[in-house]
Amino acid sequence: MAWLSLKVLLVGVSFLGCLYPLVDFFFSGETRGQKPNFVIILADDMGWGDLGTNWAETKDTVNLDKMAAEGMRFVDFHAAASTCSPSRASLLTGRLGLRNGVTHNFAVTSVGGLPLNETTLAEVLREAGYITGMIGKWHLGHHSSYHPNFRGFDYYFGIPYSHDMGCTDTPGYNHPPCPACPRGDRPPRSPERDCHTDVALPLYENLNIVEQPVNLSGLAQKYAEKATQFIQRASTSRRPFLLYVGLAHMHVPFTRTPLAAGPQDGTPYASGLREMDSLVGHIKDRVDRTAKENTFLWFTGDNGPWAQKCELAGSVGPFTGLWQAQQGGSPAKQTTWEGGHRVPAVAYWPGRVPINVTSTALLSVLDIFPTVVALAGAGLPPDRRFDGLDASNVLFGRSQTGHRGSSFVCDLVKKDSLSLSRVGLSQVLFHPNSGAAGQYGALQTVRLEHYKAFYITGGAKACDGSVGPEQHHKPPLIFNLEDVAEAVPLERGSAEYQRVLPKVGQVLADVLQDIAHDNISRADYTQDPSVTPCCNPHQIACRCQTTSQTDVSTSRDIRK
């Protein structure tokens, strides 16, 4: 009888007293046939204009530009939320935060994470016979059963949250600068409020902390090595695989490392962009050498650039949110302006995804889950509804239309109680509040075809320190996105506004009704200092000695 699920062997006790898994890449029985492999790469805080093929002023993404020329580039692709944890939760569940429970970021001391009754993409694919690996930033809960190894990933190597949420010995560039971890008995300097100095940033391999503090200067290289090892071992095992890579780039802090090729006099941001591009290039090269014809590689971002970081923030391209900028505050990360959630996206699959194609289809990070599940021949989790759609027709060049009707009423599940006859087959996305104005997760911005309606604006900090005033709009501000800068809303008395307004109200009412009748989850956002990752509580900042990490396939008990 073939082994259809990956064996996770408990092979030892770490120095923390935890059991950790050893991935068994081999199995008996039939081979995988034509099941595709999947590599999903998620950049952090990368602007739409940071991709060279999107914005001519960017010259630092040669590998991504080449991948776009060999595949499909999406120019109307959106994050599911405009901050870290909610965006990642939606990628792995295909559901908005009002459904999956993750509406804002988890903290270093968070007890909970992505609710355990939510089914992740990794869990679905593992049940379908896939090897599953995750490398990089997780940020969906690190304590107990919220760790990636318990959420469907057979192998994990990475950091549990953003790399500015713990001190390091190589803090790099940040705005404002943060101090290095304290050593010995020396107390930490009084840092800015946003700096973490009490506990060092940990690096995990499976359930083991293998380095604390992380050496940020070598982190990208380690990610490249672990990703290529995973791809190589999985490919030679004759099993299909899912690899999810959560990059640290382009989140602050930045540091120059050997991967960052290019002019030595470049800005820290440009250097970081080149490093990220090189890391993506390493992963793509390994795919091309081992499983090119049978591997779908999808690159995108979690949200737009963090404007309050000034010169350390990326480019929104033409999506400058001028209406908000004129009011004060940021129109980028944390907001629902285009600069906050319109993100770069590239799909690559030789022989399947047509080459050198620019797609204008309205798509979202929410679509990754149902698309990958469909391509893998797996089944969607029952008894819940999804906000993403299967984008296969777009990917394979058969359609230029993404979200049709209310995005939650796709043919993934039956919803006999809803009717969209009054709206027709309009293209719709809903953008949740993500830390700027309004209640976390609330759907107060609606994209309808080429129109966008805001029921609330303001609340995010700009580089100059200004925070736009929170403003509620009843009736909503509506922009025609032919005005890409979102500079001037439609006149409320105009025929165009009056034609769009009832449609916006109807699709918003429909999705809220749908959510009210759905099987929704609630995340535990309570905090307890005792759950802070710490490999040696007897040392200041939890500092501990490290050894070199192990090969993906042969990890054993790692001793300090």
Nearest-Å Rg of the Cα atoms of the chain is 23
Token pair of 395 as six digits: 């990917």
Residue pair 458/480 in contact by the 8 Å Cβ criterion: no
Pairing of strands 72-74, 345-348: antiparallel
Largest CA distance in the chain: 71
Would residue 463 show up in a list of annotated catalytic residues for this protein? no
Residue pair 437/469 in contact by the 8 Å Cβ criterion: no
Residue 315 three-state SS: coil
Ranges of H-type helices in 208-306: 219-236, 268-290
Would residue 249 show up in a list of annotated catalytic residues for this protein? no
Task: State how far the Cα of 5 lies from the Cα of 439, in Å rounded to an integer.
Answer: 41
Q: Give the number of other CB atoms < 10 A from CB of residue 397.
A: 14
Active-site residue among 78, 84, 178, 535? 84
Q: Give the number of other CB atoms < 10 A from CB of residue 243.
A: 26
Task: State how far the Cα of 387 lies from the Cα of 399, in Å rounded to an integer.
Answer: 19
Ranges of H-type helices in 416-494: none
DSSP3 helix / strand / coil % (the chain, rounded to 5): 25, 20, 55
Cα 255 to Cα 183, 217, 218, 274, 316, distances in angstroms: 21, 6, 9, 11, 22
Q: Give the number of other CB atoms < 10 A from CB of residue 166.
A: 25
Residue among 448, 384, 439 nearest 412 (CA): 384
| Cβ-Cβ contacts under 8 Å for 142 (sequence gap 6 or more) | 110, 113, 160, 161, 531, 533
H, E, C per residue of 181-194: CCCCCCCCCCCCCC
Q: Give the number of other CB atoms < 10 A from CB of residue 440.
A: 18
Quickly list DSSP for 322-384: HHHHHHSS-SSTTSSSHHHHB--EEEE-TTTSPSSEEE---EEGGGHHHHHHHHTT--PPSS-
Active-site residue among 139, 143, 282, 341? 139
Catalytic residue annotation? 84, 139
